């Protein structure tokens, strides 16, 4: 199967990254290494001072004391273009992505209009959008994401869509989901499900539990997520080559279903967000809508299940669900405020602070969840690895550096985050896309 490459045509000059500690789970490397990038590819990787062709590079990046990893991939971002440029643009969103160490972002199609046609896929990929990292569009699974009829998966895939989804809402009808998985299976195209039975979540603005009762807010039951995941897995198991990717999983029951599906060898993958491994419903104070997102922050047992699933391999990727909104869309009655928070610039630091430093998973596993894991979910060849010949996307970070995140300084157009002012450990120092440095701290 052929796929148009998202790579740049103009290549940066050769670059040597020297003195860093390379963590590349896809190549089983976790050691001090130097790397030569040339022609937009990884040209050579060797132990310190052993590069044979290192002299060819005019430019050097001193990575002493830093971790050098394959470029991070975010499977789930909302860059709001076309249509809602007051929230974010591809230019501002990819700038925030670069600052967060992401060299590739997969964009959600719930824009205005919905990205359900070849024209919009091409528009998204046009250099005129000003993206500074790779943009991999995900197309709508149904026309207008209305759930009525499937989009033209084949044409969308040929144009560059790497998956299909109706994100923001679920593909609710059994028959429609089955058709999507059937066609996706034929094309080897992942179907991304926003798992929420919306019939159970009408007028709900947070997780159903003691906190929602106390606050007088209608709560979304965990079952609204798990029943859809369970249904989708049952369908996927019956369809040849069906590829189901479950977005932003948040509940213990749904993770249990995914774990079972994986042991049954179903092609099921899933992602979790940094906020779901960091916060619970009870952390929200005073109706602060920066704690309002969908799926909502869950209970303590769900967070524990997310941590366990990150550790045991059930979870394939950390994805941000970066969902920018303007202040006036958030600073209002909690129940009326928009769902979603930004996440690109805090993801790695939250993973290091909450997962690695609290000894839930190794640093190599953190890197895998941002690189090889997501690359596998959506088949992004040449990405998520630093093996020779891979695309020269590299993320360089300091796993020990302490810093404070200030939303006001965020490169995203929007500042809707619950992590404003948080002291975090782990800082992105440089982001390299196709051999070109696009961000330096």
Partner 1 sequence: MNSASRSLLSIEQLDAGEILKILKFARSMDPDRPRPLLKGKRVFLLFYEASTRTRTSFEVAAKSLGAQTVLIQSAGSSIEKGESLLDTGYTLRALGADVIVIRHPNAGAAHVMERHIDVPIINAGDGLHEHPSQALLDANTILRNKKSFKGLQVAIVGDIFHSRVARSACHLLSKFGVKIILCGPHELVPEIATTIAPGVSVARDVNDALHGTDVLMLLRVQTERLAGLKIDPADYIARYQMTSARLKMAKKDCILMHPGPIIRGLELTSEVADGMQSRILEQVRNGVPTRMAILARAVGKMR
List of residues contacting partner 1 (CB under 8 A): 209-210, 213-218, 286-287, 328, 331-336
In the complex, least distance from residue 337 CB atom to partner 1, rounded to whole angstroms: 9
In the complex, least distance from residue 216 CB atom to partner 1, rounded to whole angstroms: 3
Q: Where are the beta strands (DSSP E) in 121-224?
A: 134-137, 139-140, 164-165, 191-193, 206-207, 219-220
* 135, two tokens: 């943009």
In the complex, least distance from residue 277 CB atom to partner 1, rounded to whole angstroms: 24
Phi, psi of 301 (to 5 degrees): -65, -35
Is 232 labeled as catalytic in the residue annotation?
no
- Complex with partner 1: residue 28 or 336, whichever CB lies closer: 336
DSSP-derived secondary structure for 173-193: -HHHHHHHHHHHHHHT-PEEE
In the complex, least distance from residue 334 CB atom to partner 1, rounded to whole angstroms: 5
In the complex, least distance from residue 328 CB atom to partner 1, rounded to whole angstroms: 7
In the complex, least distance from residue 339 CB atom to partner 1, rounded to whole angstroms: 15
* 58, two tokens: 């005019």
Question: CB within 8 A of 301, min separation 6: which ones?
Answer: 252
In the complex, least distance from residue 87 CB atom to partner 1, rounded to whole angstroms: 17
Walk across the sheet containing 102-107 and list its strands: 72-77, 102-107, 134-137
Q: Which long-range contacts (CB under 8 A, 24 or more apart) does 176-181 make?
A: 176/142, 176/147, 176/150, 177/231, 177/232, 177/235, 178/235, 178/239, 179/150, 180/141, 180/142, 180/150, 181/232, 181/235, 181/236, 181/239, 181/242, 181/243, 181/244
- Complex with partner 1: residue 290 or 431, whichever CB lies closer: 290
- Complex with partner 1: residue 208 or 352, whichever CB lies closer: 208
CA-nearest of 25, 22, 109, 110 to 66 is 22
Q: What is the 3-state secondary structure (H, E, C) of 217-264?
A: CCEECCHHHHHHHHHHHHHHHCCCCCCEEECCCCCHHHHHHHHHHHHC
**From the CA atom positions of the chain, what is the Rg in Å?**
21
SS3 128: helix
* 158, two tokens: 């040929």
- Complex with partner 1: residue 3 or 218, whichever CB lies closer: 218
- Complex with partner 1: residue 152 or 335, whichever CB lies closer: 335
Residue 439, CA atoms < 13 Å, CB-side half-sphere: 29
Q: How far apart are the first and last CA of the chain?
A: 39
User: Rounded CA gap, 155 and 3, in Å?
Assistant: 11
User: Rounded CA gap, 82 and 101, in Å?
Assistant: 24
In the complex, least distance from residue 306 CB atom to partner 1, rounded to whole angstroms: 22
Query: 167, 321, 393, 398: which one is catalytic?
Result: 321
- Complex with partner 1: residue 152 or 288, whichever CB lies closer: 288
- Complex with partner 1: residue 284 or 394, whichever CB lies closer: 284
Q: How far is CA 359 from CA 28, 307, 308, 320, 351, in A?
A: 21, 11, 12, 21, 11
* 413, two tokens: 């157009």
- Complex with partner 1: residue 29 or 217, whichever CB lies closer: 217
Residues belonging to the active site: 321
């Amino acid at each position: 199967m052929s796929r148009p490459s998202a790579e740049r045509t103009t290549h940066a000059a050769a670059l040597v990254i020297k003195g860093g500690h390379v963590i590349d789970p896809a190549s089983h490397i976790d050691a001090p290494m130097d790397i030569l990038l040339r022609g937009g590819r990884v040209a050579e990787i060797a132990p310190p001072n052993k590069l044979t062709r290192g002299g060819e590079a005019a430019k050097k990046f001193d990575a002493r004391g830093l971790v050098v990893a394959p470029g991070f991939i975010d499977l789930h971002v909302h860059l709001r273009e076309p249509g809602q440029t007051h929230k974010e643009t591809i230019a501002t969103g990819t700038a925030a992505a670069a600052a967060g160490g992401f060299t590739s972002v997969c964009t959600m199609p719930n824009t205005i209009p919905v990205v359900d046609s070849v024209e919009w896929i091409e528009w998204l990929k046009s250099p005129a959008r000003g993206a500074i990292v790779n943009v991999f569009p995900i197309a709508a699974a149904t026309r207008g994401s209305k759930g009525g009829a499937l989009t033209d998966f084949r044409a969308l895939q040929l144009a560059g869509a790497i998956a299909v989804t109706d994100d923001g809402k679920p593909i609710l009808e059994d028959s429609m989901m089955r058709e999507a998985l059937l066609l996706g299976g034929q094309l080897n195209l992942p179907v991304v499900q926003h798992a929420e039975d919306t019939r159970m979540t009408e007028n709900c603005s947070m997780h159903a539990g003691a906190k929602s009762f106390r606050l007088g807010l209608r709560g979304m039951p965990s079952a609204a997520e798990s029943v859809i995941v369970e249904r989708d897995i049952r369908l996927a198991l019956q369809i040849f080559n069906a590829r189901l990717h479950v977005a932003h999983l948040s509940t213990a029951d749904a993770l249990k279903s995914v774990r079972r599906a994986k042991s049954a060898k179903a092609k099921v993958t899933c992602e979790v967000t940094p906020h779901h491994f960091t916060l619970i419903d009870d952390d929200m104070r005073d109706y602060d809508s920066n704690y309002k997102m969908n799926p909502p922050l869950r209970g303590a047992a769900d967070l524990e299940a997310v941590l366990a699933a990150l550790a045991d391999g059930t979870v394939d990727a950390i994805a941000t669900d970066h969902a920018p909104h303007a202040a006036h869309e958030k600073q209002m009655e909690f129940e009326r405020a928009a769902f979603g928070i930004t996440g690109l610039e805090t993801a790695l630091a939250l993973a290091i602070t909450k997962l690695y430093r609290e000894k839930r998973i190794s640093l190599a596993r953190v890197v895998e969840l941002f690189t090889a894991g997501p690359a596998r979910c959506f088949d992004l060849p040449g990405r998520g690895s630093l093996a020779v010949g891979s695309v020269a996307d590299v993320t360089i970070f300091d796993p020990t550096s302490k810093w404070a995140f200030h939303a006001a300084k965020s490169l995203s157009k929007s500042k809707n985050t619950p992590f404003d002012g948080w002291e975090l450990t782990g800082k992105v120092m440089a982001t390299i896309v196709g051999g070109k440095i696009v961000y330096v701290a």
